[in-house]
């Protein structure tokens, strides 16, 4: 699963550079404008800061949701592997070694499956983030 984890990190880093940093930069500039306005009350300042933060918060929530979906799919695949192997187990040492090899093989299959569907997730993330009206 190391290859998959590396690929996910590459994609997240790319999305961060393409979209998330811009959203955060806009938030900080907006926050600074709120703070630079001496004519607003403390309550209005807090409201202004909250409004500025809203797009970044929504983007982070969306990204967290997508990452959770990916983690859940990986987990379900690995649990399915474990269940399949457990169902075959005979509880002897030789069988444990075979099962360990089977688990590695099944895990590799999970990784391959996830590598195939990862572009669907990253495409969805990019499309969602590129639509400013979502934020």
Q: Per-domain residue ranges for the chain?
A: 12-134
Q: Which residues, at least 6 apart from 59, have a Cβ–Cβ distance to it below 8 Å?
A: 19, 20, 23, 129, 135
* pLDDT above 70 as % of the chain: 90
Is the pTM higher than 0.85? no
Quick one: average pLDDT of 18-39? 97
Q: How distant is the alpha carbon of residue 4 from its chain centre?
A: 13
| Contact status, residue 23 vs residue 133, Cβ threshold 8 Å | no
pLDDT at 91: 60
Q: What is the C-alpha separation between 53 and 32, in angstroms, rounded?
A: 12
Q: Residue 100's pLDDT band (boundaries 50, 70, 90)?
A: confident
The pLDDT value recorded for residue 101 is 82
Are 54 and 76 contacting, i.e. CB atoms less than 8 angstroms apart? Answer: no
The model's confidence at residue 90, banded by pLDDT at 50, 70 and 90, is: low
Which comes out higher in pLDDT, residue 98 or 80?
80
| Cα of 120 vs its chain's centroid, Å | 13
Position 134 pLDDT exceeds 80: no
- Span 41-72, pLDDT tens digits: 999 999 999 999 999 999 999 999 999 999 99
What per-residue confidence (pLDDT) applies to 135?
63
Residue 102 tokens read as: 């089977």
Name the residue with higher pLDDT: 87 or 113: 113
Residue in this structure with the two tokens 């987990």, named with its chain if needed: 75
pLDDT of residue 1: 74
pLDDT-based confidence at residue 84 (cuts at 50, 70, 90) = confident
Is residue 64 classed as helix, strand or coil in its secondary structure?
A: helix
Pairwise CA distance, residues 73 & 68, whole Å:
9
């Amino acid at each position: 699963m190391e290859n998959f984890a590396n690929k996910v990190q590459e994609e997240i880093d790319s999305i961060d550079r393409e979209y998330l940093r811009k959203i955060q930069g806009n938030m900080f500039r907006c926050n600074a404008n709120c703070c630079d306005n001496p004519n607003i009350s403390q309550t209005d300042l807090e409201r202004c800061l909250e409004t500025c933060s809203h797009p970044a918060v929504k983007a982070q929530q969306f990204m967290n949701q997508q990452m959770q979906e990916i983690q859940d799919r990986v987990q379900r695949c690995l649990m399915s592997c474990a269940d399949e192997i457990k169902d075959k187990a005979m509880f002897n040492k030789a069988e444990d070694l075979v099962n360990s090899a089977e688990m590695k093989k099944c895990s590799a299959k999970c990784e391959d499956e996830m590598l195939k569907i990862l572009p669907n997730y990253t495409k969805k993330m990019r499309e969602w983030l590129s639509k400013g009206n979502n934020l």
